[in-house]
Structure 1
């Protein structure tokens, strides 16, 4: 079965795809496979996108980390796991996490913790603690932060 697009048309389509929003290599390859491109054509297009700076894994990782932290309030563990799932190198993951300042990270964590603690209606303190900890751990925050915070919340 032949591809619907010529490599040149596919390249243009993928340039728009990458210009609209930062993409990782996996997303680009999946998109090209959905366009029924051969593996040689995929390799050629991916190399071309990298050369023309439409595809840059470091830039993707940094943008991803900033966005997920600022908008979805994810912690570093969740961001790291999500980047690993997208086959981003550990070097790029490290660079991406440096995009989030310690101060911003702490402020986001504290705001999220306050909101979460106050929103849990549970009367049983043990159940409330568990819900609080589960929520913050699911969001990808470090367990030592979460457990310190739960102790502070109970004292207030």
Structure 2
């Protein structure tokens, strides 16, 4: 594949949805391009504003929180796996309003609690906390919300 064909194809790839630089880089390497061509194309995409890591982090964090109800810990881990910089991760985390975050955690806990089984109330709360922590919410916040809500 020529550099020009690759640029056209990768522009369509980036225009379809927001992409992290590493995703685009992996896709370009799958086209069989050399390292120099890949890095030059990445620079061109950044100049043309097809790739913007801060914008990606904001959209990623906001959508994972609103749609999938992920907590901050899980979102940060996912962004780090996509090799997003710490600055962009912090910027993305600002998309999550504290009040919405608290309400979402409360909603998850109250919705899940009736279905949790256990020998006693302590075991049920333990299972509920593990569930919320696995969703990416901070353990300290989860336990304080469990005490507040239940």
| Superposition TM-score, scaled by structure 2 size | 0.94
Determine the C-alpha separation between the residues in 2 that align with 1:73 and 1:128.
21
Aligned pairs for 1:33-44 (under 5 A) are 33-44=29-40
Which residue of structure 2 lines up, in the alignment, with residue 148 of structure 1? 144
Q: How far has the Cα of 1:11 moved from its partner?
A: 0.8
Query: Structure 1: which 5+ runs fail to align?
Result: none
Kept in 1, the 8 Å contact 2:18–2:51? The answer is yes
C-alpha distance after superposition, 1:109-135 (max 9, x if no partner): 111111111221334323312211111
Which residue of structure 2 lines up, in the alignment, with residue 16 of structure 1? 12
Which residue of structure 2 lines up, in the alignment, with residue 59 of structure 1? 55
Which residue of structure 1 lines up, in the alignment, with residue 107 of structure 2? 111
Determine the C-alpha separation between the residues in 2 that align with 1:150 and 1:105.
15
Which residue of 3, 19, 22 corresponds with 1:7? Answer: 3
Determine the C-alpha separation between the residues in 1 that align with 2:109 and 2:46.
40
C-alpha distance after superposition, 1:62-106 (max 9, x if no partner): 000001000110111111111111111111111101011111111
Structure 2 residue 28 is the aligned partner of structure 1 residue 32: yes
Root mean square deviation, CA, Å: 1.2
- Secondary structure at 2:83's aligned position in 1? coil
Which residue of structure 2 lines up, in the alignment, with residue 136 of structure 1? 132
Residues matched between the structures, number: 150
Which residue of 92, 96, 100 corresponds with 2:92? Answer: 96
Query: Structure 2: which 5+ runs fail to align?
Result: none
Determine the C-alpha separation between the residues in 2 that align with 1:118 and 1:12.
53
